[in-house]
Structure formats: structure tokens, C-alpha cells
A and B are shown apart, each in its own frame.
Chain A
Amino acid sequence: NVEPRSVPVFPWHSLVPFLETSQSN
């Protein structure tokens, strides 16, 4: 009796940063 376990799925764009900002210094 193995309970089904929900597995989180993450979108591809969460893995890489947004670096282009208006506050670029």
C-alpha cells in the first residue's frame, strides 16, 4: 500500500536569473 506522493514540478525559467535590470550599476 504505497500512498501516491505528489512530486513538485518547477518551470524551466525559475532556474536562471534575470540580471538585466534598470538599476544596472
Chain B
Amino acid sequence: SLLATPPPPSAPSLPPYFTKGSIIQLADGELKRVEDLKTEDFIQSAEISSELKIDSSTVERIDSSHTPHFAIIQFAVGEHRSQVSVEVLVEYPFFVFGQGWSSCCPDRTTQLLELPCAKLSVGDVCISLTLKNLK
């Protein structure tokens, strides 16, 4: 009967690299803790990378989702300001230019990850990536 009953769905969780103390390797090989990362670290790493480029993604809307603990964030992405909506856990951290880690529910992010976090707001410009050779 154990085999007959499917396992319970695992609760959605955040990737381990957002946990305070996680070691992140920059493109030049330098190691930093996730909580110590600065905007320049991402910009310089993208400059070194032969494949990846930094995109600016501006938060245009933040709505609650029908799925508990999730939010729907609408971004204007890149130079063409493509409209992209993503559904994420409310504690999912985005890196805001000049500000650092931010999420829809910073208290929950800090509680779960011990990662210092600010409130993500409409108008914040987040770091996202695109491919350098993307037409």
C-alpha cells in the first residue's frame, strides 16, 4: 500500500545559494558570501563573461497570486522593455541595482535565509541576465 500512495508534494523551497553564508564565485574567480555581494560584482562578472550580459528589469506590478505564499511580479525587461510576468515565492530575493537583495516579503526572506533583505517595490530596477549573442 506504501507504493500505491504517491509521496506528498514537496513544499516549494528556495535554492540553497540564497542562504546567508553561501559562497559565490565571481567570473574572475573571487569568492564572496552571498550577503556581501554588490552591484559592481555582477556588472564586472558580466563584463568578463563571454556569454552573459546584464539586463535591467524594472518592476512594474506586484500582485498576490492565487497560489498561497506566491506573488506575481511584472517586469519591463531590457532595452525593449519586454513585458514579462513571473510567479515566485514571496520570499524569493531579487538583486536591485544599488540596493541589494529585495523581496516581496523581506521579513520572511530574512527569517528563512538569514539574508538581509529590503522590500521589493514598483519602480525597483533588478539585475537580470541575457545572452550576449541573443538577437
What is the interface of chain A, defined by CB distance below 8 A to chain B? Answer: 7-21, 24-25
Task: Decide: A9 and B23 in contact? CB cutoff 8 A.
Answer: yes
Seed contacts A13-B52, A14-B15, A19-B128; 13 additional CB < 8 Å A-B pairs: A10-B23, A12-B24, A12-B27, A13-B45, A15-B18, A17-B94, A17-B128, A18-B129, A19-B55, A19-B78, A20-B84, A24-B82, A25-B84
Q: Which of B96-135 contact A (CB under 8 A)?
A: 126-130, 134
Main SS at interface, chain B: strand
Which of B26, B127, B128 touches A20 (beta carbons < 8 Å)?
B128
Interface size on B, residues (CB 8 A): 36
What B residues does A18 contact at CB under 8 A?
128-130
What is the interface of chain B, defined by CB distance below 8 A to chain A? Answer: 15-18, 22-27, 31, 34, 37, 41-42, 45, 49, 52, 55, 57, 75, 77-78, 82-86, 94-95, 126-130, 134
What A residues does B17 contact at CB under 8 A?
8, 10, 14-15
